[in-house]
A = this chain, B = another copy of it.
Amino acid sequence: MPEIELLWSVDDVIEYSKRWALTHGLLCLVPNECDQATFVPYTLFPSCLSQKEFEFIWNIQADYNLLYTKISQNDDILKKALESVIPIDDFVARLWNIYLSCKTNRQQPIQLDIYRNDYMYDTQANDKSQTKMRQIEFNTISSAFAGLTGIISQLHKAIFRYSIRNCTIRDIELNSQQQESSDHYVNFMVNNAVENAAKAIAKAYELYNNPESCILFVILPNERNVCDQGALYDAIQKQIPNVKIYLKTFKELVNEIQLNQNNNLCFKNSKEEISIVYYRAGYIPDHYFDESIWNMRKTIEQSNAIKCPTVHSQLAGCKIVQEYLTRPNILESFISNSHTVEKIRSTFAPMFTFDTEDVDYKKNIALLLSKPDNYVLKPQREGGGNNVFGQDILQLLSDKKVQLSNYIAMEKIVPPVSRNCLIKPNGKHLINAHVINEIGIYGTT
């Protein structure tokens, strides 16, 4: 991006952005306060990414979507990928058991997924690689922030339009022959993530084929991210004006919904039928804080309702599956086009597990010992502890009590550092902060 010249003082831009955030719903609720909101932390200016890299990860997303849908529907692969984790991770094991108990009499063939594929630009990536973007994780449940990122994108455009000298905004189409950003034009990628998520939900609603049915968001108790969810709510309402959308916690659902004799998910009192269950909860063990919630998850899974996601689609998003896909010939078993395989593989950071029977086991340990700063160890368990870096890796390797097989090693990504202003509530802003960026590409199937 070219150098920019501010027409206003930075303080004025910050004040402008805060007022804009309040008037356009870039907000979250304040903890422990009723009906009070504050803006979500945001950067004052957008982050840059070359159009070429953006288009690369954008263009492979459809293949990624298909890949993960196939994985979720492939018993055999899911089982192989998860078999090392199920014995050590009660959370994955319970989801797996729900999957097993529901799969024989699965009522609902329609699968709805809203994914978010997260990447970082890796300055250390081999120049011969097709891309320098490296996948961080692939989210298959509760892919948040489609709503707020769209709003932040509008804020960034407003800041550029008004506060920067001689700056013209260009909304760019992907894969077109447009010019790079220049001194006078700044290209903004159009962000339609929330509209596309709503379209996917509307399509599933249409396929369910009961115009009297309602949509259910399963949310967390004391949910604070209400404007992000509200933006999706509004976008769905635009697509399906007459649908009623309920926002309920698991605990509320325990008392309020049940299966009817036709296996439809219904509210007990009103008998309203639920066609779509969209989860914004249930992705970490803490959300299942008592047995009734596990039972509720199972009830929903057994029902005719279209789940976003199903239990098996959620399982496909496990970290261990991400590692499993890096193994030889796995991608090829799902994707016949070798160019597509190559492209997807080019986004993988090198990863390995610690299976003592693996031929590379000793080589991998040696790698870690010699270059601990180049790796990050991630617990295989979902929501199961913190990542381990650098010298802490050496300590972990020397600790006889640690089960190395509980970890996945991933080559550390070194993103470029840029400068930005970080705006936080309560007047806490950092005018000249060093920031690194992660980008999420949304996809639906």
Contact = CB atoms under 8 A, between A and B. Distances in A.
A401 to B, nearest CB: 46
Nearest to A234: B23
A162 interface: yes
Contact of A38 (B19, B35, B39, B161): B35
A96 B98 CA distance: 80
A15 B226 CA distance: 11
Interface string A237-267: 1000110101100000000000000000000
> For the complex formed by this chain, how many copies does it contain in all?
2
Nearest to A9: B270
B231 A8 contact: no
B161 A241 contact: yes
Interface string A1-38: 00000011000100100111011110100100111111
A23 B242 CA distance: 20
28 contacts: A8-B244, A12-B246, A15-B247, A18-B35, A19-B226, A19-B233, A20-B230, A22-B25, A22-B27, A22-B226, A23-B25, A23-B27, A23-B226, A23-B230, A23-B231, A23-B234, A25-B25, A33-B36, A34-B425, A34-B426, A34-B427, A35-B425, A35-B427, A36-B37, A36-B425, A37-B38, A162-B241, A162-B242
Contacts of A112: none
A241 B163 CA distance: 10
Interface string A343-380: 00000000000000000000000000000000000000
Contacts of A226: 19, 22-23
Nearest to A8: B244
Interface residues of A, number: 37
A247 B15 CA distance: 10
A318 interface: no
A227 interface: yes
Interface string A113-132: 00000000000000000000
B22 A37 contact: yes
A22 B227 contact: yes
Contacts of A8: 244
A39 B30 contact: no
Given A23-B230, A27-B22, A37 B37 contact: yes
A231 B34 CA distance: 25
A168 to B, nearest CB: 11
Nearest to A424: B35
A82 to B, nearest CB: 37
Nearest to A26: B23
B427 A230 contact: no
Contacts of A25: 22-25
A426 B35 contact: yes
Contacts of A15: 247
Nearest to A33: B36
A155 B80 CA distance: 52
Given A19-B230, A25-B25, A227-B22, A7 B244 contact: yes
Kindly name the residue among A8, A35, A36, A38 whose own CB sees the greatest number of chain B CB atoms within 10 A. Answer: A35
Contacts of A241: 161-162
Contacts of A227: 22-23
A18 B30 CA distance: 14
Given A22-B230, A23-B25, A23-B227, 11 more contacts: A18-B35, A20-B234, A23-B231, A33-B36, A34-B427, A35-B38, A36-B36, A36-B38, A36-B425, A162-B237, A162-B242
